[in-house]
Structure 1
């Protein structure tokens, strides 16, 4: 085991200046990684606040017992992460944290009502995304979309639900829009917001087949519109597809409520 001990140096705060924190890491980890984790921990815990000057290179060497090379590497990593900022002739200072990113908690994803609200957000975004994809798509994009539609059909015929190909199709449409933010949006939210496996397996085989067949037809209509470069038709097809999913989800919620069960996302 390797041990580093770093003292926090905070201007105007004697208690924080005296605070000393100790970490123990497996010896296989580099000393620079240990020092990075120690300093990052002090920053995230507020021991070193935005605007504070971190201990000097010499102080870090003395406190931790590592070389100047290790200290410089650790500071360089923290600077690359945007957590500290070296200032010529002044030292290294803790930066202001970035504004919180858009995020959805696991609890929200687990609540079917919240999933329904998120689906409304997808509906607004993906409707326009489909229109832009129709205007900007390449022949390669179309070929990839058509291949994915065929994969979905084959999976459904094999008693699957086409989830993986479905996700890939939505991401391919996002890329065809020519706007990377659509891609990042879908990658962040994920396309499993409607828990299709749970929604279809509580129904009869006939209902399951009808639902998945309708979803496949919606995908095909959407891709056909994009292939024709018909932006309006693509938007309409995307809206119909997502509204169908939302309606299915709302009906599932009502069934859960009718059975006096919590409206929680079923396990896939």
Structure 2
């Protein structure tokens, strides 16, 4: 019997088939987004009365320096305050704390977490319709000055930048197209959508940065939109904008949702 090969003891994890091992795990807590932190701080100041109705908020540059965050973060927070009816923008003057007795709460998308896959998909589906038509109108109505601003934005988009600057340039490019449409309703809707738009662009650009050659493909899609608008070809501009947004959905696997 001593000459018989001894069988190695089975690992303890296999002795109890079907019984899951007990591990010490703590729930993973998602970090609070910077825009949420800025939003909460500003909202507390307004709702507590520390910032009175009619008061002008600090400039975007001042807020950026005070909170030590990017301009994109500040724009997201301000946009959400506007959505909540807590502040109003006065052309050429700035952002002011709204009088709650005079402001009607704005329409809300109801996307509480714009990082959720369903929310991102729904925003992109909405963008396809609005931005495709905005691009078509921009091709018809743009001026030489408009094209100069859009080209400058495109160059900023193609320049090597840090992540936040890239997101900011991307958001600016799409916002300018809305402005070039000369349709006030589209412009206002784009402003309303600004906070979730920035979040979805962050997700898309983060995905592009992880895949070799993808950033160049995305840039080329933006170039084609610009070229169609510059050429005054409404149908090509509409198709180029639609193609860009549909491909963005595919790259994020949103079209399968």
**If the TM-score is normalised by the length of the shorter chain, which range does it land in?**
0.5 to 0.7
Structure 1 stretches of 4+ moved >4 Å = 158-161, 251-254
What does residue 216 of structure 2 align with? 213
Match of 1:148 among 144, 147, 153: 153
What does residue 228 of structure 1 align with? 231
Which TM-score applies when normalising by structure 2? 0.55
Task: Answer whether contact 2:111 2:119 (CA < 8 A) is retained.
Answer: no
Matched ranges for 1:159-170 at <5 A = 162-170=166-174
What does residue 111 of structure 1 align with? 116
Q: Could you list the runs of 5+ residues in structure 2 that have no partner in the other structure?
A: 1-47, 56-98
In structure 2, the CA distance between the partners of 1:168 and 1:110, relative to structure 1 (3 Å rule), is same
What does residue 204 of structure 2 align with? 196
Q: Residue 104 of structure 1: CA displacement?
A: 2.4
Q: Residue 197 of structure 1: CA displacement?
A: 4.3
Match of 2:179 among 163, 175, 199: 175
* In structure 2, distance between residues paired with 1:174 and 1:253: 28
Larger radius of gyration: 1
Task: Answer whether contact 2:121 2:255 (CA < 8 A) is retained.
Answer: no
Q: Residue 135 of structure 1: CA displacement?
A: 0.3
In structure 2, the CA distance between the partners of 1:252 and 1:139, relative to structure 1 (3 Å rule), is same
Task: Answer whether contact 2:134 2:186 (CA < 8 A) is retained.
Answer: yes
* In structure 2, distance between residues paired with 1:29 and 1:240: 45
More strand by share: 1
Task: Give the count of matched residue pairs.
Answer: 161
Which TM-score applies when normalising by structure 1? 0.53
Task: Answer whether contact 1:130 1:177 (CA < 8 A) is retained.
Answer: yes
Q: Residue 109 of structure 1: CA displacement?
A: 1.5
* In structure 1, distance between residues paired with 2:160 and 2:168: 10
* In structure 1, distance between residues paired with 2:164 and 2:248: 18
Match of 1:132 among 129, 137, 162: 137
What does residue 59 of structure 1 align with? none
Task: Answer whether contact 1:112 1:253 (CA < 8 A) is retained.
Answer: no
2:249 aligned with 1:250, yes or no?
no
